[in-house]
Amino acid sequence: MAGGVMRNAGGGGRRGGRRRRRGSAAMSEINITPFVDVMLVLLIVFMVAAPLLTVGVPVQLPNTAASALPTEQEEPLAITVTADGGLTIQETPVAEDQLIPRLTAIAAERENRKIFLRADGAVSYERVAQIMGALNAAGFNSIGLVTNSDGPTFGGN
């Protein structure tokens, strides 16, 4: 049996013990580089996809001098009246007698009961007024008419 003096792996003495304790502690910094990379990719994906999410029913909107409504968090429902008098909710065609029941079912799942009414310029005022009256009677009191903003100002600013 060989006898001898054993040394501490940390260099011995008090000083080595401190170094070992400090060196064995877990790193408390968070590496955010992968997080930033993922967020930038998501930002690019949403920037490319956002313009594609607009309502795609083709109508010729009338031109007015009205300014755009302020944007909100939840996009309002869009009802479109086509030139031939057909109705759509967002992009889904709907029969006239099914308009209010479908809107009521959709609105039950949403926070916002606001509705945008888009009507082709060839549709008569009477038809638009009838639809607005039916919406109002069903409890949809916040209705916005969608138009193009490059219309005549009739002497206004």
CATH number at residue 68: 3.30.420.270
Tell me the CA distances in angstroms from 85 to 22, 49, 131, 143, one per residue in order. Answer: 77, 31, 11, 19
Angle between helices 99-107 and 125-137 (to 10 degrees): 50
Establish if 119 belongs to a structural domain. Answer: yes
Provide mean pLDDT across the span 151-156: 74
What's the pTM?
0.53
Establish if 65 belongs to a structural domain. Answer: yes
Establish if 74 belongs to a structural domain. Answer: yes
Contact 65, 148 (CB under 8 A): no
> Which one is predicted more confidently, 76 or 84?
84
Q: 121-135 pLDDT, tens per residue?
A: 888 888 988 999 999
pLDDT > 90? residue 42: yes
Establish if 35 belongs to a structural domain. Answer: no
Establish if 111 belongs to a structural domain. Answer: yes
Q: How confident is the model at residue 29, as a pLDDT? A: 80
Provide mean pLDDT across the span 102-106: 89
Range of the domain at 135: 55-146
> CA-based angle 86:92:98, to the nearest 5?
65
- Lookup result for tokens 């109705």: 87
Domains: count for the chain: 1
pLDDT > 90? residue 38: yes
Give the chain's mean pLDDT: 78
Establish if 15 belongs to a structural domain. Answer: no
Binned at pLDDT 50, 70 and 90, residue 55 comes out as low
Q: How confident is the model at residue 146, as a pLDDT? A: 84
Establish if 30 belongs to a structural domain. Answer: no
pLDDT > 80? residue 21: no
pLDDT > 60? residue 6: no
pLDDT > 60? residue 8: no
Establish if 44 belongs to a structural domain. Answer: no
> Which one is predicted more confidently, 59 or 127?
127
